Amino acid sequence: MTSNEKYLFWMQNEYFDNETKEELKKIQGNQSEIEERFYKDLEFGTGGLRGIIGAGTNRMNIYTVRKASQGVASSIAKKGEEARKKGIVIAHDPRHMSREFAVEAAKVFAGNGIKAYLFDELRPTPELSFAVRYLNASMGINITASHNPKEYNGYKVYGEDGGQLPLEESNIVLEEIEKLEDITKVKFISRDEAEKRGLLQIIGQEVDNEYITRLKTISINPELVKKVSDSFKIVYTPIHGTGNKLVRRILDEIGFKHVLVVKEQENPDPDFSTVRSPNPENREAFSIAIELAKKENVDLIIGTDPDCDRVGIIVRNQNNEYITLTGNQTGCLMLEYVLSQKKAKGQLPSNGFVVKSIVSTELAKKIAQNYGIEMIQVLTGFKFIGEKIKLLDEMGDRKFLFGFEESYGYLAGTFARDKDGVVASMLIAEMAAYYKSRGMSIYEGLLEIYRKYGYSSETITSYTLEGKEGIGRIKSTMSSLREDCVVNFSGSGAAVVRDYLTGTRLDVKTSQKSRLDLPESDVLYYEMEDGSWFCVRPSGTEPKIKIYFGVSEKDQQTTEMKMNEFKNNVLSVINKLLGK
């Protein structure tokens, strides 16, 4: 059907509720808006769905959620009766329509004879990952759009190992969704009927308690927390999200006595009314927290995003200024802390490994090598870290120690298989206590790492290109870089080009090609002649193209000067291709 035919179908079919039809009436005659809402179905990618809330096939609404849920349900049914009985776990964040979408999904699973475990209220993403494993469920879904603006919501799907679906399983779900050509043919029953038939079970406190118990096993130096707890203060903000109860609970239970919550951001708020964006990467999200920290003379500020899978921190530097640490800096601090303290306690296994994404700092490699620990690199997306845990730790003879992405996602422990803002908050606070016991701040700890391994700087530039036209510009830019084999960037020459879409590594000087051992992905990675690097990739969850940069030198000033020149050279080429 054309966009207009789909529009009329939604307007005229009795399956769609009056509220939906009233919303669509308001765009009658607005061809561009009709096209935008109906030119395609909201894409089910490897992570699930994510889109603007509203009526239409290219929007997040109860009908697109039902359709996705039918695809997931059908994929479970293909595994047999035992998979149906094991059921599926459902969680959600505080966004608009999140609870409604979660309930609608549960009704679809129940309508397909699959038991749904639904949390009694909002919960962090990592607890959903944990709950899938704890309840021995077949799959899990989380209704969340992470740190996206308030207009968005999403639908993330997890496998039985608690990790986001790998490509093969995601493709099976996609096939089942595409089989459903008529969106009105989804199987679902009422909530009352689902509960009567034992196909809907509300869960909560029991899972919370077990999750907290497992978190405590990751603590390395609880004695240091007790040593400094009388005088050590932390400011914490959940940024109106799901982290409030569990982050504060774990910090309390491992011994921190003075955790000050940002009251204005403590309670769930789907409008995220105190921030422009509920993203802990952005300093603006910490404005109120910084004022509280100044008032209370606090050294550490921790903030988690709405679904509490990512963490940002603010620390004081040598000039007593509150500064934001990057995801790479925090990741390296945590990696150094975990490895050094396990070694000091004789707990560092010889078969241990750590994992990072290819766009995360190369400094992490040096840290791992210093402790004789293998660093494994994966594509962007925490599901790839989860896959390595399953393959090497759960099914193999290796021991997972730590994993992180530059986008503020961290994981220790194997009981969850997605980035975990709760365990990260605990380890960051404990790490602060460790440095405090040494008479140091976290910032001084970062400088110590730079002195030990060399200075490193990373940054990212991203362009948001909305709508059908924007997607086209992103695709054409990636195609141009490949087809024209661009290797010179205004004075910066590439020595090696890794193309993860074709799975090849090109040595520019010799023109020799070799195979890459990572899955196919629309990513170009450039290793420059001077040791710098940059990477270009479209976002998998947002209408963005992202360019990552990494530079290492002997000191901060030289590194920053080099980064500025390098970034400008590369962006001058990328901007022309994007038509900016």
Write out the catalytic residue numbers. Answer: 146
Cβ atoms < 10 Å from Cβ of 574: 20
Question: Is the Cβ–Cβ distance between 383 and 125 less than 8 Å?
Answer: no
In the chain, the amino acid numbered 497 is V
In the chain, the amino acid numbered 86 is K
Phi and psi, residue 113, nearest 5°: 75, 20
Phi and psi, residue 399, nearest 5°: -125, 115
State which H helix or E strand residue 312 sits in.
strand 311-316
Q: Which residue in the block uniquely carries the two structure tokens 């077949």? A: 138
What is the edge-to-edge ordering of all strands in the sheet holding 409-411? Answer: 374-378, 352-357, 399-405, 409-411
Angle at 171 between CA 168 and CA 175, to 5 degrees: 145
Nearest in space to 117 (alpha carbons), one of 142, 82, 146, 100: 142
Written as six digits, the tokens of 18 are 């009056």
Cβ atoms < 10 Å from Cβ of 5: 10
Beta carbons within 8 Å of 477's beta carbon, 6+ residues apart: 536, 545, 574, 577, 578
Count of all residues that appear for the chain in the document: 580
Q: Which residue in the block uniquely carries the two structure tokens 């209370």? A: 296
Written as six digits, the tokens of 303 are 């903030």
φ/ψ region of 93 (left if φ > 0, alpha if ψ in -120 to 50, else beta) reads beta
Q: How far apart are CA 559 and CA 570, in angstroms?
A: 16
* Mode of pairing for the β-strands spanning 88-92 and 139-143: parallel
Written as six digits, the tokens of 198 are 């034992």
Angle at 69 between CA 164 and CA 144, to 5 degrees: 55
Q: Which residue in the block uniquely carries the two structure tokens 């000191």? A: 555
Q: Which residue in the block uniquely carries the two structure tokens 């510009």? A: 473
Radius of gyration over every alpha carbon of the chain, rounded to an integer in angstroms: 24
3-state SS class at 231? coil
